[in-house]
Amino acid sequence: MGPIPLLLLLSFVVSGVESEEDYTWHLRKVPQVLNKRTVTLSSPGFKAEAKPVLNGTCGIECQSRLPLASVADLENFLSYETVYENGTRTSTEVYFRDFDVQAEHEVMKDSHSRGKRQVYGMDSRFSISDKQFVTNYPFSTTVKVSTGCTGILISPKHVLTAAHCVHDGTDYIKGAKKLRVGILKLRSKRGGRKRKGSKRNKRAAEVKPSFQWTRVKRTQLPKGWFRGVTDDVAVDYDYAVLELKRPHKKKFMELGISPTVKKLPGSRIHFSGFDDDRPGQLVYRFCSVSDESNDLMYQYCDAQPGSSGSGIYIRLKEPEKKKWKRKIIGIFSGHQWVDVNGMQQDYNVAVRITPLKYAQICFWIRGNYADCQYG
């Protein structure tokens, strides 16, 4: 696809051609996810192998046959582990305040809809090759995780990614022991002082995007991802937050609570990642959501291993303003083989940011419940 049609298409997707009043960020009060007790655990083994594709996932159809989770179940699922750079590990139990479990399920009841199963054909991904675009917002929020995944900047020191990028459900993967995050920045190919009119120094002044790597000093992920805790609903909790050892200076993207598909402009989502089949390239895509549950979205975006952990975002109008604002509403879990009526079918699966997950992730970032009351 040439540059002019692509620009026109992107303009159509994000320009808000639908009626403005239908597509607005509505702030809502979120429940509190409060720490009850923290205990110290033994250091992880860091012996698990990374898995680019997840198999045997209990997805939307499978989960629809399960009983609704109780508050006690959800408190168990959102309890979490923290692993520090020196190998120290802690486990924290949580409890909720101002949370109505039945009301949350009612929100999704009327919005559930199933689209026709996608037949993957023409690759609809776009490599962001322009060095200025790739290092500017929103593409600059996309980062590479050293275990082979993607992540997204959510604060000056925090990255959101998929839990399976650091943990296989039983143990932390080998590469998570010395975890790093790579941020794309423009750098000169050669050093040296620049002299006017010198061809040699014009070449020296050429810049190209390259990764600046930063160590991760703390990793947090919900126990809902651990096997034996959630079993069939583990994929609902495929998210983790990484705290960087030093802050970056890039603009980050804010979190938002995932609206239902009917409230997405064109029912579309957007995300960028570092797909393995396009090494060294940042790959952007947008597509429609085909199905959703309270915690998951199926979508039609073309994706390859390496893009797991990408932040899924949309643009909606800010209340009482003319500006459109991007917010992260989900985490791309990846291409998965999902159990559908006893058969394995492949889908691209994303984890929705629910009010409870928003409250938890916000607290991991800010460390203060008072700053996480509205999302």
Q: What is the pLDDT of residue 292?
A: 86
- Higher-pLDDT residue of 269 and 338 is 269
Report whether pLDDT(366) > 60. Answer: yes
Q: Is 276 a catalytic residue?
A: no
Report whether pLDDT(334) > 90. Answer: no
Report whether pLDDT(313) > 80. Answer: yes
User: Using 50, 70 and 90 to split pLDDT, how confident is the model at 104?
Assistant: low
User: Using 50, 70 and 90 to split pLDDT, how confident is the model at 189?
Assistant: low
What does the alpha-carbon distance between residue 142 and residue 363 come to, in Å, rounded to a whole number?
22
Q: Which long-range contacts (CB under 8 A, 24 or more apart) does 12-20 make?
A: 13/265, 13/266, 13/268, 13/270, 13/286, 14/265, 14/270, 14/315, 14/324, 16/265, 16/315, 16/317, 16/324, 17/265, 18/265, 18/266, 20/317
* Predicted confidence (pLDDT) per residue in 114-156, tens digit: 444 333 455 678 888 787 788 899 999 999 999 999 999 999 9
Q: What is the pLDDT of residue 280?
A: 85
Amino acid at 174: K
Q: What is the pLDDT of residue 67?
A: 85
Percent of the chain surpassing pLDDT 90 = 47
The angle formed by the CA atoms of residues 306, 311 and 316, to the nearest 5 degrees, is: 145
Alpha carbon 165 to its chain centroid, in Å, reads 11
- Higher-pLDDT residue of 196 and 47 is 47
Q: Is 171 a catalytic residue?
A: no
Which member of 158, 164, 167, 270 is catalytic? Answer: 164
Q: What is the pLDDT of residue 10?
A: 43
Which member of 267, 272, 308, 310 is catalytic? Answer: 308
Q: What is the pLDDT of residue 230?
A: 66
User: Using 50, 70 and 90 to split pLDDT, how confident is the model at 20?
Assistant: very low
Closest CA relative to residue 164, chosen from 359, 356, 335:
335
Domains of the chain and any CATH numbers: 32-188+207-371 (2.40.10.120)
Q: Is 105 a catalytic residue?
A: no
Strands 89-97 and 311-317: unpaired
CB contact at 8 A, 362 and 354: no
Report whether pLDDT(218) > 70. Answer: yes
Report whether pLDDT(160) > 80. Answer: yes
* Predicted confidence (pLDDT) per residue in 242-280, tens digit: 999 999 989 999 999 998 888 887 788 999 999 998 888
Q: Select, from the ranges 276-280, 283-287, 294-298, 363-367, the one with the highest average predicted confidence (pLDDT).
A: 363-367
Percent of the chain surpassing pLDDT 70 = 82
Q: What is the dihedral of CA 184, 189, 194, 197, to 10 degrees?
A: -120
Q: Select, from the ranges 101-105, 107-111, 185-189, 263-267, the one with the highest average predicted confidence (pLDDT).
A: 263-267
Which member of 43, 91, 112, 232 is catalytic? Answer: 232
Report whether pLDDT(79) > 70. Answer: yes
Q: What is the pLDDT of residue 118?
A: 38
CB atoms within 10 A of CB 367: 9
Buried b (16+ CB within 10 A) or exposed e, 189-213: eeeeeeeeeeeeeeebeeeebebee
Q: Select, from the ranges 5-9, 113-117, 240-244, the one with the highest average predicted confidence (pLDDT).
A: 240-244
- Higher-pLDDT residue of 12 and 81 is 81
Kindly give, in sequence order, each residue whose CB lies less than 8 Å from that of residue 370, ignoring residues fewer than 6 positions away: none
